[in-house]
């Protein structure tokens, strides 16, 4: 088997079926299989998948193992030399697999992973400077706010009456497909073209909210995003695979870091595109997301970083905690979350220490990889 496409489902069968249909319809020279991992599986959902998708390899877990655990289960059941990760709330375009195949074959064996391009589903309009902010707005690195755009069916004076729709619930779902009130308007935006990491260990999607037709970042690529990536199984196994202990968030940064420490390269494949329904599986700024991001960022830096980087990240975390406790009305994490992180801290240290022991990576190698870390500002290349 050339490739195994791994999809993780957690109580999202409508979206997952949409992704499976798009994957099974791919045209590529690869011989590929589809591995579906169902977390927190119930008998009814599993039976329906078996009946409707007899050709896929189905892996079930009664527990919710998270994204990292789900990928680990999927890899254990997969036969392909290449692992392709596709989010269950994303739809790959018809040439997704073939473009990844071509790039991998042209890149050589030391390129262990390719980051695909994820485009946000729907269209968006820029919120005017000084305009009222909305909780559902998406915010670009430079502070520009974008809001989902729709066109009302009624026209006034022969011109469409445009509305910036701030409520994703207004995009009514019918069989998994968004039903808009008229043709969508606005711009198509990029979700990401891989992951970049700054000098405090904070990861973000490269090209986040860049217009599809606009310029691209020149920020050095650090790693792949787990929602859309091509991975060489041999390299992945060499560095220990995904860490189920992380559950979700930063698990792709962790693997990318370990691949780079082992001397592998990670590149992008810009023309392998998926369309992603942002925050369909979890709220983009919810309490769980903020906590897991803070916890796992610290865990990943402890696992992979140099002593200097660890000190910087610890100092930043302590400073953030002090600010949050002093100003609870604008806190990133609530007091109870910080107390939880404090209780987990000894376990974070033990886990990182156990993983670092015997990895054979010296201080110089860690510094070489950390040369890819950037300032927090995005550098944009003009066309």
From residue 368, alpha-carbon distances to 213, 265, 307, 308 in Å are: 34, 12, 14, 13
What would the 3-class secondary structure string for 15-45 be? HHHHHHHHHHCCCCCCCEEEEEEECCCCHHH
Compute the average pLDDT of residues 23-43: 97
In tens, the pLDDT along 76-131 reads 999 999 999 999 999 999 999 999 999 999 999 999 999 999 999 999 999 998 88
Q: Whose CA is closest to 302, among 235, 250, 227?
A: 250
Q: Whose CA is closest to 232, among 68, 105, 77?
A: 105
As a whole number of angstroms, the distance between CA 73 and CA 261 comes to 24
The answer on pLDDT for 298 being more than 80 is yes
CB atoms within 10 A of CB 241: 18
The answer on pLDDT for 7 being more than 70 is yes
Q: How many residues does the chain have?
A: 383
Contact 31, 213 (CB under 8 A): no
- Indicate the DSSP class of residue 189: B
* Strands 228-232 vs 111-120: parallel, antiparallel or unpaired: antiparallel
Compute the average pLDDT of residues 264-286: 82
Give the DSSP H or E segment for 254: helix 251-261
As a whole number of angstroms, the distance between CA 15 and CA 90 comes to 8
User: Whole-structure pTM over 0.75, yes or no?
Assistant: yes
* Strands 265-276 vs 111-120: parallel, antiparallel or unpaired: parallel
The answer on pLDDT for 168 being more than 60 is no
Q: Which of 7-11, 65-69, 287-291 has the lowest mean pLDDT?
A: 287-291
pLDDT at residue 377, rounded to an integer? 56
Question: Percentage helix, strand, coil, to 5, in the chain?
Answer: 35, 25, 35
């Amino acid at each position: 088997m050339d490739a195994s496409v791994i999809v993780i489902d957690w109580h999202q069968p409508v979206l997952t079926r949409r992704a499976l249909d798009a994957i099974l319809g791919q045209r590529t020279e690869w011989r590929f299989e589809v591995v579906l991992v169902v977390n927190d599986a119930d008998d009814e959902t599993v039976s329906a998948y078996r009946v409707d998708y007899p050709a896929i390899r189905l892996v079930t877990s009664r527990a919710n193992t998270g994204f990292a655990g789900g990928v680990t289960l999927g890899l254990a059941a997969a036969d392909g030399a290449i692992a392709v990760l596709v989010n269950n709330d994303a739809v790959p375009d018809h040439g997704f697999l073939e473009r990844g195949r071509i790039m991998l074959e042209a890149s050589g064996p030391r390129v262990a992973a390719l980051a695909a391009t994820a485009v946000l589903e729907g269209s968006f309009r820029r919120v005017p400077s000084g305009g009222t902010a909305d909780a559902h707005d998406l915010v670009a690195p430079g502070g520009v706010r974008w809001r989902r755009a729709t066109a009302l069916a009624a026209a006034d004076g022969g011109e469409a009456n445009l509305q910036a729709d701030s409520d994703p619930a207004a995009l009514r779902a019918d069989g998994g497909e968004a039903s808009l009130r008229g043709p969508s308007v606005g711009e198509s935006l990029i979700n990401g073209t891989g992951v970049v990491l700054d000098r405090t260990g904070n990861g973000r999607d490269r090209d986040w909210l860049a217009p599809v037709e606009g310029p691209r970042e020149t920020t050095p690529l650090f790693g792949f995003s787990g929602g859309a990536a091509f991975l060489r199984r041999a390299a992945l196994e060499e560095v220990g695979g995904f860490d189920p202990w992380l559950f979700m968030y930063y698990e792709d940064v962790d693997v990318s870091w370990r691949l780079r420490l082992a001397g592998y390269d990670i590149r992008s494949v810009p023309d392998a595109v998926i369309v992603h329904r942002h925050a369909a599986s979890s709220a983009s700024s919810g309490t769980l997301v903020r906590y897991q991001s803070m916890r796992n960022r610290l865990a990943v830096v402890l696992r992979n970083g140099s002593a200097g980087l660890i000190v910087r990240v610890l100092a930043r975390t302590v400073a953030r905690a002090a600010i949050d406790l002093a100003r609870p009305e604008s806190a990133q994490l609530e007091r109870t979350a910080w107390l939880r992180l404090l209780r987990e801290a000894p376990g974070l240290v033990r886990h990182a220490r156990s993983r670092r022991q015997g990895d054979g990576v010296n201080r110089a190698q860690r510094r070489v990889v950390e040369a890819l870390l950037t300032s927090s500002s995005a550098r944009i290349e003009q066309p």
